[in-house]
Chains A and B, each alone.
Chain A
Amino acid sequence: MNAHGAPARTARTATLTLRGVVDGAREIAPVAIFVIPFGIAFGAAAIEKGLPATLSVLMSALVFAGASQFAALDLWASPMPYLMLALTVFAVNARHILLGAALAPWLLHLPVAKRYAVLSVLSDPNWAQATRALQRGETDAGLILGSGLLMWVAWILATAVGAVLGANLGDLTRFGFDVLMISFFTAAVVGQWRGLPDLVPWIVAAAVALVGAWVLPFGWHVVAGALAGGITGALRHG
């Protein structure tokens, strides 16, 4: 552990290799398995909303962002509230902008096409994994692509299973899968701990997010907390 907030290791180069893709997929596999219950729950919920299996699977393939897909089901009605749908999906997924920005010092070293291919499968778990990899000095963005692709495939297949089997499966999230993601993210935070100077930005982020969760529209508390923590960190260390 690196006390006194030594500067992060930030990649000065970036590569994208097949080896990295395979390693990324292998490393994320335990997490991807646990995405399956959520995918099944989404497929089942979509069927109940009258969304046929083909369309819910298509949505999972093209959108690949669980929370926003569940939120969309709440708005799924005729006439379709397109503007509300776009705003809701944007609000729930706006944190991706920050995840991407945080990877920018790394990914900007990649050619444009590869850069955006990698980002197209960006999600919270594979981003958390990539951030850890960057800290240990990895430069292979194939890690993000491989882990993202595996999560994507798992999400699509699980949606299909849920859409076909429907509510017969019951609520798989009752087995504690709902705490899986926050446990994984907790591990990511703890793994990044670099000593006491980190504490103030984290506390600011937690406090703003917590207040925001009650006073802001759904989805925005993560963005607010993250920006607050980032600005606090920049002011203290910049």
Chain B
Amino acid sequence: MVDETTALLAIALMAAVTLLTRIGGVVIMSFVPITPRIEAFLRHLAMSVIVALVVPAAVKGGPTAMLAVATAGLVMVLTRSAVGAMLAGVACAALLRALPL
């Protein structure tokens, strides 16, 4: 059993580390001149973060997750609505899981 003082210390540590990650990127960039090359890097970095989040998660999630992602992507192309795409992805996964496969 973790006593309360230890738990509070651990939570404070987690909070400090997480806050550092949240502000760290902007703190670092405040020392780096934003040249066109740096700007191109940041722009591709932004999209690459999402790609790097989605692709392994979809692969690890198996066919259901991959089909959900494909559905979400398709709905986004057709409707340009992020919320619609999100709901379509969830509905697709729920439907696939409800099927007696």
Chain A positions near chain B (C-beta within 8 angstroms)? 8, 10, 30-31, 34, 50-51, 55, 58-59, 62-65, 68-69, 72, 76-80, 82, 85-86, 89-90, 93-105, 107-108, 115-116, 119-120, 122, 124, 128-129, 131-132, 174-192, 198, 201-202, 204-206, 208-210, 212-213, 221-234, 237-238
Ranked nearest first, the 8 interchain pairs of A and B with the lowest CB-CB distance are A233-B44, A229-B48, A183-B89, A100-B25, A225-B52, A238-B37, A230-B45, A101-B25
Residue ID in chain B nearest A87 by CB atoms: B17
The answer to whether A226 and B56 have CB atoms under 8 Å apart is: no
Q: Considering the chains assembled together, what is the distance between the CA atoms of A186 and B60 in angstroms?
A: 15
Which of under 10, 10 to 19, 20 to 34, or 35 or more describes the interface residues of B?
35 or more
Q: Output the nearest chain B residue to A101 by Cβ-Cβ distance.
A: B25
Q: With A99-B49, A190-B77 as given contacts, are A85 and B69 in contact (CB-CB < 8 Å)?
A: no
Most buried by B among A96, A176, A183: A183
Provide the bound-state CA to CA distance between A128 and B10, in Å. Answer: 29
Is chain B's interface secondary structure helix, strand, loop, or mixed overall? helix
9 contacts between A and B (CB under 8 A): A8-B43, A68-B18, A98-B25, A100-B29, A176-B68, A179-B61, A179-B93, A186-B54, A191-B80
Cβ of B82 and Cβ of A132 under 8 Å apart? yes
* Chain A residues whose CB sits within 8 angstroms of the CB of B12 once the complex forms: 62
Q: How far is the CA of A101 from the CA of B80 in the complex (A)?
A: 26
Counted as pairs of residues, one from A and one from B, with CB atoms less than 8 Å apart, the total is: 309
User: A233's contact among B41, B72, B90, by CB below 8 Å, is which?
Assistant: B41
B36-85 with Cβ < 8 A to chain A:
36-61, 64-65, 68-69, 71-73, 75-77, 80-83, 85
Q: What A residues does B83 contact at CB under 8 A?
A: 30-31
Residues B26 and A103 in contact, CB atoms below 8 Å apart: yes
